[in-house]
Structure 1
Amino acid sequence: MKNCVRKSASTGVGSPNVWGIYEADTGSIQYLVADPSSGEAAVIDAVQNFDPRAARTDFKSADQILALAKEHDLKITWVLDTHPHADHFMASWYLKEQTNAPNAIGEKVTDIAELWRDYYHLPEAFNPKADFDYLFAEGDTFKLGELDVSVWLSPGHTLGSITYIAGDAAFVHDTLMYPDSGTSRADFPGGSTQDLWQSLQRILSLPDTTRLFVGHDYGKDGREPQWEATVAEHRQNNIHLAGDVSEADYRQLREERDATLALPDRMLHALQVNLRAGKLPEPEADGHRYFKIPANKF
């Protein structure tokens, strides 16, 4: 399955154009979000490609975003991530260098960094305040051209996940999946099914016509990848949330499902990169960069 691109057009004043760029290796969706009035754009959750067999990285997917922005005469003014991803490497620092746009993530990335310093036994590693230009807090807002963008803390998948809301578009990362696939896992360090439930309820309190853009899709039952559905569609059709589902029932379902899931094959590589905004570890004396992988901790 190859990377594919799909546009969700602005629905009117105050509504962004959104391009979803599907990254096939990890089932991740990268977003290019643009204000139609000014041509200013933000990138959300861009992927740095990684081959775990050879521990080799490249920026083909991020370059695809840059080419798409150029094709549509858009100026990238923000490089955003929703959380430190466990299944793919960020391209945050790379896109910041390419565009001179500031990069940002949620402020609780500092708490996530504290967890992973212990897992990696790297007590001096990771300084998100230095590697990101902005650490957004709950309720923060910023401008994308003439659009107002709001930030919600949406924990559960991680303790520091955030949602970006621009007009009728919300980028809800690893909370919801496409309706036929339900919701995302909550068993990573710092995750919580209780927090995830509360985050999902808040997201589904948005207006029915709000376009929700998720972080992943895996082409369930062989269908084409999908990543956009409205609040109303999730309320009616989401297999984990539709109908009269109680918090207790949801949490039991989610926890039982999570107990069957293996760790993502890139996770132990990815966190030590993503807590540096996508930068690889510093070169050692021989000029090469090395990953540190904990054995028998998970």
Structure 2
Amino acid sequence: MISRKPIFPGVIELNFQAGEVLGCNLYLIYDQDEWVLIDVGYEETVDDYIQIIRDLDFPLSRCQTLIATHADVDHIQGLAKAKQAFKTTVTAHPNAVEPLQSGDTLKTLALIEAQDLRLEMPPVQVDHLVNDGDVIRVGKLEVEVWHTPGHTDSQLAFRLGDVLFSGDNVYRDGCIGAIDAHHGSDIKAFLRSLRRIRDSDVRWLAPSHGPIFAKDDVMLDKVIERVEGYLHMADFGTLAEDWPLMDQWDAEVAQGILPDGFQLPG
């Protein structure tokens, strides 16, 4: 047995516990011998995490469920393997069911041919559905479910006291989870989720990547302002609301306007 290094009472982050980053953040929430795991990461690291959990003296048979924050391959590729190892269930948002159960490589971003990325996405049965306002009980602990879409349509966050396990919503440096049409991103929904986090009274954010950090409303205001701009940028293609430059171009074409100092040939 190794000494447990909880980051909050009843919460161990397995990468921090191991002293090395093996993948996305995995949060083990426990009360006595009962525990759940938020995300499992890639299939190739499942055995490493199982060994850490054994060394921490958590009975594998007392895993109540494996919780998917959302259906992106770097968070859930190892779900089928971990489910079998722990002989437990899988919990996810309804929007994650189809890609998880079918092993959809496109929506999970396991297949990105333009970048020569081709990962296996083992299908896994989802046993429990959770949505906004539901409560997951771990012993005497109550974990409140938040549906925070934007990064994906299935993105969940989880509140435990003054801590929010915030998924891929926002990171300590002000970055946010990737916006990609293929896996269900929605900029307007993302803004609603970010505002909800900002306006909440949680004290700590525990994201799915990178270090935990104190909620900083000033930083979140800057993030929200930046993301609001994405609604009006060609950079985000079909996910943007509009592209104001095209309205300007329509007007300039109609009026024959060219840049100052520019002359037509001849």
- Output the TM-score relative to the length of structure 1: 0.60
Identity across the alignment (%): 22
1:206-221 to 2 correspondence within 5 Å?
A: 206-209=200-203, 211-217=204-210
Per-residue CA deviation, residues 73-129 of structure 1 (Å, 9 max, x unaligned), is 224222111111144652212222111221111111246679x69989xxxxx9x8x
User: Bigger radius of gyration, 1 or 2?
Assistant: 2
Structure 1 position 214, deviation (Å): 0.9
Query: 2:212, 2:231 → 1: CA distance?
Result: 22
Compared CA separation, residues 257 and 41, structure 1 to 2 (3 A) = farther
Query: 1:257, 1:29 → 2: CA distance?
Result: 32
Compared CA separation, residues 85 and 6, structure 1 to 2 (3 A) = farther
Is 1:155 aligned to 2:142, yes or no? no
Q: Aligned pairs, how many? A: 213
Query: 1:252, 1:148 → 2: CA distance?
Result: 37
The residue aligned with 2:217 is 235
The residue aligned with 2:240 is none
CA contact (8 A) 2:39 2:75 kept: no
Is 1:95 aligned to 2:82, yes or no? yes
CA contact (8 A) 1:47 1:91 kept: yes
Structure 1 position 228, deviation (Å): 0.3
Quick one: which amino acid aligns to residue 127 of structure 2? D
Compared CA separation, residues 246 and 213, structure 1 to 2 (3 A) = closer
The residue aligned with 1:131 is 125
Query: 2:148, 2:51 → 1: CA distance?
Result: 31
Is 1:105 aligned to 2:82, yes or no? no
Is 1:19 aligned to 2:13, yes or no? yes
Compared CA separation, residues 87 and 64, structure 1 to 2 (3 A) = closer
Structure 1 position 173, deviation (Å): 1.0
Is 1:251 aligned to 2:233, yes or no? no
Please point out which of 35, 47, 58 is paired with 1:74: 58
Which runs of no fewer than 5 residues in structure 1 stay unpaired? 11-15, 50-57, 121-125, 218-226, 261-298
Query: 1:208, 1:253 → 2: CA distance?
Result: 27
Query: 1:118, 1:63 → 2: CA distance?
Result: 26
Query: 1:257, 1:91 → 2: CA distance?
Result: 35
Query: 1:193, 1:6 → 2: CA distance?
Result: 37
Query: 1:86, 1:257 → 2: CA distance?
Result: 27
1:259-274 to 2 correspondence within 5 Å?
A: none
Structure 1 position 195, deviation (Å): 0.7
Query: 1:86, 1:48 → 2: CA distance?
Result: 7
CA contact (8 A) 2:162 2:202 kept: no
Q: Which has the higher strand share?
A: 1
Quick one: which amino acid aligns to residue 178 of structure 2? R
CA contact (8 A) 2:39 2:69 kept: yes
Which runs of no fewer than 5 residues in structure 2 stay unpaired? 112-120, 238-266
The residue aligned with 1:224 is none
- Output the TM-score relative to the length of structure 2: 0.67
Quick one: which amino acid aligns to residue 197 of structure 1? L
The residue aligned with 2:185 is 191
Instruction: State the structure with bigger RCO (CA 8 A, min sep 6), 1 or 2.
Output: 1
Quick one: which amino acid aligns to residue 204 of structure 1? R
CA contact (8 A) 2:33 2:58 kept: yes
Compared CA separation, residues 39 and 191, structure 1 to 2 (3 A) = same
Is 1:144 aligned to 2:128, yes or no? no
Compared CA separation, residues 256 and 40, structure 1 to 2 (3 A) = farther
Quick one: which amino acid aligns to residue 214 of structure 1? P
SS at match of 2:42: strand
Q: Which has the higher helix share?
A: 2
CA contact (8 A) 1:62 1:95 kept: yes
